[in-house]
């Protein structure tokens, strides 16, 4: 791609034609607080860095509100990523995921920030991360901004009900229908769609006039933490290295943590430990909760675990924690269609979406008692990470669907 662009530039120079830009200018529009140490924010930051390494001129636009994380911001700046935020007074939204009235003001402010930055930078494409960002980008496109690539973090048809905590079947189905309408609306109006899972690609493709690309998130593995650091983190929280199952991540409703709590209660002494630095929600009763002081400590605890769990069952999204688990060579218990790219009994233990707490507890118990199987699955997960979840593969696909 770079060679072809250089050849076009030489041809233009020889003929006297205007020379095209060799460096594509991309806006990564993220309608959520940033920085924040949870999946969507980490994914966007990693994608921004990877695009910058691929010689794209990247600007990340997000709410002007988040948790203090000087390391993440410095890493992005060092990679050459420009960061533009909406006005802080209008960006004071809750840190949790999902709809909230205050996000209307934050989204309007982010739209103004995008339009102002577009006048200065003249982006070639906008990668709109999540449904709110896609709505903002489509509104901006009506005023003359470039092509919009909707990066579908989830399917609202399956996730929207989790934010309402509804029990009535009729209300839940109404939310599902509304979510389906939003999914269809965004797919139909975006110039292209990046779906993180095969389920999302299959659901959105029938409504999308443009290209729908299935591009999974990626992770460039870092060196493992020192064993002494792992041991120290476990000791601080009264854990025995290699003797606990872990769930690592936020406590938002779509994570199906009530299912995990039910399974943990059934496990007795084999209860799952929740590792989180999410201060916003009360965890469900049952599992033990460890509040990690930093992302580094959370990573240390992952490397100290015996296996890891993803209880989420709403289709469409890709839990970034899967990649963190695989990096730590942990045996993974998850659900089919959620652990996109993983295969049951080859590199993970996958349950059907219809499985409940009893089946989840049984899977965890099986891997806790069969150390050889857990070790085999963990090693295979790490090999899968290296082979199929690399930014070297994800970035060319991302640039291709972005049309740059």
Are 152 and 121 members of one domain? yes
Residue 20 has pLDDT above 70, yes or no: no
Average pLDDT over residues 361-388: 97
Are 123 and 257 members of one domain? no
Torsion angle in degrees (nearest 10) through CA of 387, 45, 319, 309:
90
Nearest Cα residue to 355 out of 342, 336, 377, 332 = 336
Cα-Cα end-to-end distance for the chain: 9
Instruction: Name the DSSP letter for residue 207.
Output: G
Q: What is the pLDDT of residues 126-149, one digit of tens each?
A: 999 999 999 999 999 998 878 999
- CATH number, residue 164: 3.40.50.2000
Q: What is the pLDDT of residues 216-274, one digit of tens each?
A: 999 999 999 999 999 999 999 999 999 999 999 988 888 999 999 999 999 987 779 99
Average pLDDT over residues 66-87: 85
Q: Please indicate, yes or no, if residue 208 is contained in any of the structural domains.
A: yes
Nearest Cα residue to 38 out of 249, 310, 330, 331 = 249
Identify the helix (H) or strand (E) that includes residue 369. Answer: helix 357-369
Query: Which tokens in the block code for residue 133?
Result: 């960002």
Q: Please indicate, yes or no, if residue 343 is contained in any of the structural domains.
A: yes
Are 157 and 42 members of one domain? yes
Token pair 């936020």: residue: 250
Q: What is the pLDDT of residues 329-369, one digit of tens each?
A: 999 999 999 999 999 999 999 999 999 999 999 999 999 99
Are 277 and 329 members of one domain? yes
Q: Please indicate, yes or no, if residue 301 is contained in any of the structural domains.
A: yes
Residue 97 has pLDDT above 90, yes or no: no
**Predicted pLDDT of residue 168:** 65
- The pLDDT confidence band at residue 73, using thresholds 50, 70 and 90, is confident
CA distance linking residue 22 with residue 56, whole number of Å: 9
Q: Is 119 left (phi over 0), alpha (psi -120 to 50) or beta?
A: alpha
Are 234 and 205 members of one domain? no
**Predicted pLDDT of residue 2:** 35
Are 149 and 187 members of one domain? yes
Lowest mean pLDDT among 69-73, 206-210, 377-381, 393-397: 69-73
Q: Please indicate, yes or no, if residue 10 is contained in any of the structural domains.
A: no
Q: Please indicate, yes or no, if residue 268 is contained in any of the structural domains.
A: yes
Full domain range(s) for residue 61: 22-218+390-402
Q: What is the pLDDT of residues 98-109, one digit of tens each?
A: 777 888 889 999
Nearest Cα residue to 308 out of 256, 359, 260 = 260
R_g over Cα of the chain: 22
Are 353 and 269 members of one domain? yes
CA distance linking residue 337 with residue 318, whole number of Å: 9
Q: Please indicate, yes or no, if residue 320 is contained in any of the structural domains.
A: yes
What single string gives the DSSP state of each residue in 68-105? --HHHHHHHHHTT-EEEE--GGG----SSSS--THHHH
Alpha helices in 190-294 (DSSP H): 198-204, 227-236, 257-267
Nearest Cα residue to 32 out of 147, 154, 125 = 154
Please report the beta strands in 221-363, taking only residues with DSSP state E, as ranges in sequence order.
245-248, 272-276, 288-291, 307-309, 331-335, 349-351
Number of compact structural domains in the chain = 2
Are 251 and 149 members of one domain? no
Specify the length of the chain in residues: 404
């Amino acid at each position: 791609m770079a060679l072809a662009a250089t050849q076009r530039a030489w041809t233009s120079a020889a003929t006297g034609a205007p020379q095209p830009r060799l460096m594509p200018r991309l806006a990564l529009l993220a309608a959520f607080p940033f920085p924040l140490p949870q999946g969507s924010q980490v994914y966007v930051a990693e994608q921004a860095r990877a695009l910058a390494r691929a010689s794209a001129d990247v600007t990340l636009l997000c709410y002007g509100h988040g948790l203090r994380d000087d390391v993440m911001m410095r890493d992005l700046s060092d990679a050459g990523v420009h960061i533009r935020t909406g006005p802080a007074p209008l960006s004071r939204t809750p840190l949790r995921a999902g709809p909230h009235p205050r996000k209307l003001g934050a989204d309007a402010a982010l739209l103004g920030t995008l339009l102002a930055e577009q006048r200065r930078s003249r982006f070639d494409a906008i990668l709109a991360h999540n449904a709110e960002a896609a709505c903002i980008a489509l509104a901006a496109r009506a005023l003359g901004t470039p092509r919009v690539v909707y990066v579908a973090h989830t399917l609202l048809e399956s996730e929207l009900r989790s934010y309402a905590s509804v029990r009535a079947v009729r209300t839940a189905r109404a939310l599902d229908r509304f979510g389906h309408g939003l999914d269809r609306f965004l797919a139909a109006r975006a110039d292209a769609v990046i779906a993180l899972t095969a389920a999302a690609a299959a659901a959105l493709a029938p409504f999308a006039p443009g290209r729908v690309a299935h591009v999974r998130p990626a992770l460039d593995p870092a060196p493992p933490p020192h064993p002494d650091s792992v041991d120290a983190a476990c000791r601080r929280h009264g854990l025995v290295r290699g003797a606990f199952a872990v769930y690592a991540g936020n406590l938002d409703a779509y994570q199906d943590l009530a299912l995990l709590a039910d399974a943990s209660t059934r496990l007795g002494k084999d209860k799952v430990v929740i590792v989180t630095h999410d201060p916003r929600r009360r965890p469900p009763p049952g599992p033990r909760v460890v509040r990690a002081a930093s992302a580094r400590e959370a990573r240390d605890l992952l490397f100290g675990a015996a296996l890891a769990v993803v209880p989420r069952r709403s289709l469409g999204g890709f839990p970034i924690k899967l990649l963190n688990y695989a990096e730590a060579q942990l045996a993974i218990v998850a659900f089919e269609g959620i652990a996109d790219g993983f295969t049951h009994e080859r590199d993970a233990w996958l349950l059907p979406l219809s499985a409940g707490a009893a089946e989840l507890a049984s899977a965890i118990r099986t891997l806790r008692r069969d150390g050889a199987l857990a070790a085999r699955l963990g090693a295979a997960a790490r090999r899968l990470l290296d082979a199929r979840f690399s930014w070297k593969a994800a970035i060319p696909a991302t640039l291709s669907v972005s049309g740059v």
